Amino acid sequence: MPAFPPLVPLPTSLLTVDDGPFLLTARTPLTADPDAAAAARRILSAATAQTLDLPVDARPASPALTLAHASDIGAGGAYRLVAADTGVEISAADAVGLAAGLHTLSQLLRPAADGWAVPAVRIEDAPRFAHRGLMLDVARHFFPVADVCAVIDRAASLKLTHLHLHLTDDQGWRLHLRSHPSLTAAGGGSAIGGGPGGFYTREDYQEIVAYAAARHLTVVPEIDLPGHTHAVGLAYPRLAADPVVTPDLAAEAAGRGEALPVAGEPYTGLGVGFSSLRLDDEATFEFVADVLGELAHLTPGPYLHVGGDEAFGTDPDQYDAFLSRVTQLVADLGKVPVTWHDAGRADLAPETVGQYWGLTTPDAESADAARAFVRRASGVILSPADAVYLDMKYDHDTPRGLTWANGPTSVRRAYEWDPASIIEGIADDDIVGVEAAVWTETIEDLAGLDTMMFPRLAAVAEAAWSAPLGFSPDRTWESFRQRVGGLAPLWRRQGIAFHADGEIPWAGA
């Protein structure tokens, strides 16, 4: 066995035990409650690419896999895993911790003559941040329910806890609402590059939410306001201001051979910042109240994300007043409002969480906007674009992706940053969590998502779960590249079309 098993994210502690390996087979007894047993069968079957219908046995006569609830372990994902030739026991205070332990067990599995070998180890583990997320943009290109569920499984395997769905943008409105069905009828049939678009029915959305919940992920829906709203104008022209076409936007569109945005016509380009709702009309706020009220009813999780970024076509004073009203509306609906950090300048509802999307070396304006959420004591989610925006190219030769976030983002750059070192005055206690983002201007299918997310999503997961960078000899780039390379056989079995980056020594390559 290598110096450290290929475990990502890095656990809090791991000790090798002087004992033989445990052998997992389809006949291995399973001691667990019904829900934990079902999770074990699902997770381990996916990890081995074979059906492991492990028989439940409360008093096994042979080495068993035991999932036990333990009062001496903290809640929220912490677990203990002890493996020896006599059995494997995963202990946790809750189902979240047991699932985390099962995902670690999946990474430990190695093919053996009669099954799957698990090395003798003792692992104690707990997360650094409670919120460990992935944002998926389904607005620029639409992804069917099956693809979203596949992304959920991938996120869960790395112990992530939140799926942030970017449901609306200039190129499309992706959630059908009973209160305003024209949003999808008129605004759901387009995508970047002229693709067919698409949208989720209410039942589709509820299926995604339930699928995520079964894997201990919370869905965070985003309706981006008041910018990124060109698609609203296709259904309700009265509510949308005319596009603000700046010389820079015109030059960028010409360079890409794209048409400029035109009021009332679907927009299929990559430009941003030109659209806005009409904020001088009370009908706009009534519309927003309807939309967010229905979304709150459909969403059992605590968060509603209301965007607030890149509203260049909006009057600053009207922007501030609008975000103040909208975040208070969300709070009155019983949800925690989330905005991009741009909104930090406004007088927001005090519960509002900010999501920072600036660079790892922030400019003064972005840093101060992020600190505004700390001053309110609501905290920030960190998504530094030049580290965790997974739609950035790996290098200049990568076929997909963009480079605006400080050039390409290598796997090493995605790994070598620490959340508490980004913004002066923002430390661990101020950080709600860490969230990767995958925007889909250049990504059209699940294979494309896989290639751009993996292996960089593993680097982000480690930043969110594990101790700070450099805390131990194994919380380093050199250790990570060895560990993540060892996950290649598992990822292949799971059907993940990862990018075989040259920085990584891939097992089985």
Q: Which residues are catalytic?
A: 310
CA proximity to 459, closest of 397, 410, 396:
410
Backbone φ/ψ region at 259: left (φ over 0), alpha (ψ -120 to 50), beta: beta
* Residue-by-residue DSSP string for 339-384: EEGGGGGS---TTPEEEE-S-SS--HHHHHHHHHHHHTT--EEE--
| Relative orientation angle of helices 145-157 and 446-453, to the nearest 10 degrees | 20
Q: SS3 string of 464-498?
A: HHCCCCCCCCCCCHHHHHHHHHCCHHHHHHCCCCC
Measured distance CA(448)–CA(467) in Å, rounded: 30
**Phi, psi for 360 (deg, rounded to 5):** -65, -20
Measured distance CA(264)–CA(286) in Å, rounded: 21
User: What separation in angstroms does the CA of 5 have from each of 83, 349, 464, 482, 483?
Assistant: 13, 46, 20, 9, 7
359 CB neighbour count, 10 Å cutoff: 15
Instruction: Work out the burial of residue 436: count CB atoms within 10 Å of its CB; fewer than 13 is exposed, 13-18 middle, 19 or more buried.
Output: buried
The H-assigned helical ranges of 158-193 are 182-187
Q: Is 151 helix (H, G, I), strand (E, B) or coil?
A: helix
In the chain, how many H helices and how many E strands?
A: 16, 19
44 close to 106: Cβ distance less than 8 angstroms:
yes
